Amino acid sequence: MAGTNARTGGRVRSEEARDAVLTAAAELVEEAGYGELTMEGVAARAGVAKSTLYRWWKTRPALVMDAYGPALARRMPEPDTGGVATDLVAFVEQLYRVVEHPFRVNALRGLMAEAQLDPSFAVRFEEWAQTRRAVVAGLLRRGVERGELAPDLDLEYAVDLVFGPFWYRLLVGHAPLDPADAEPHVRRLLGGLAATA
């Protein structure tokens, strides 16, 4: 009665195969980079038929999303320390800490690239990005409610000010991302660029 999906008959999906695929995909991204990852290669390393791959993951980015998405999302706590400054610093520090896992950086960059090249994937990618944005948006909203932030704040743009520079550095590589910069960056963000004197 309360059955979620009404399967009747049919061999059950092999968790073994699923795990092997996700592991293989993760390993290949780590070793050779997202650009070098091929469906063929994943299937071979996982000891799995290509048809099985395509049965469950229609495209390459969908696969990597599944292999990396959880790992990437896990590291996304919603800090709630009572002050927007400390909340933001905590979040941004965690954000910048991705550089401590170069292969995750690789995956992130690859997924972002794919989203540019494949419109159908772009949709899924944006959805994922929205889940991350929601965290920061919530955090900022609390700051507004507490009167810590400008009441006329454009939340959308404010969130962009957090993620934008992060992605920009990640993608262009002109400057390093350093967790130690989280605090000064947030301070600047809150205080603005203009001279206070």
Stretch of 48-56, 87-95, 161-169, 176-184 lying at the interface with DNA (CB under 7 A): 48-56
Cβ proximity of 93 and 76 under 8 Å: no
What are 157's two structure tokens? 């743009």
By CB under 7 A, residue 14 contacts DNA: yes
Q: Is 141 in the site for its own copies (CB under 8 A)?
A: no
Using CB distances below 5 to 8 A depending on partner kind, what does residue 138 bind out of DNA, its own copies, none?
Answer: none
Q: Does 2 bind its own copies (CB under 8 A)?
A: no
- Whole-number minimum distance, CB 113 to DNA, in Å? 14
Q: How far apart are CA 64 and CA 129, in angstroms?
A: 15
Query: 3-class DSSP state for residue 188?
Result: helix
Helix/strand/coil (H, E, C) string of 97-136? Answer: HHHHCHHHHHHHHHHHHHHHHCHHHHHHHHHHHHHHHHHH
Kindly indicate which of the ranges 17-25, 84-92, 129-137, 138-146 contains the residues binding DNA, using the contact rule CB under 7 A: 17-25
Q: Would you call 178 helix, strand, or coil by DSSP? A: coil
Sign of CA dihedral 3, 12, 58, 109: positive
Q: Which residues bind DNA (CB under 7 A)?
A: 7-14, 17-18, 20, 38-41, 47-52, 54-56, 59-60
Q: Where do contacts with its own copies occur on this chain (CB under 8 A)?
A: 33-35, 109-110, 112-119, 122, 125-126, 129-130, 133, 140, 147-151, 153-154, 156-158, 160-161, 163-169, 171-175, 181, 184-185, 188-197
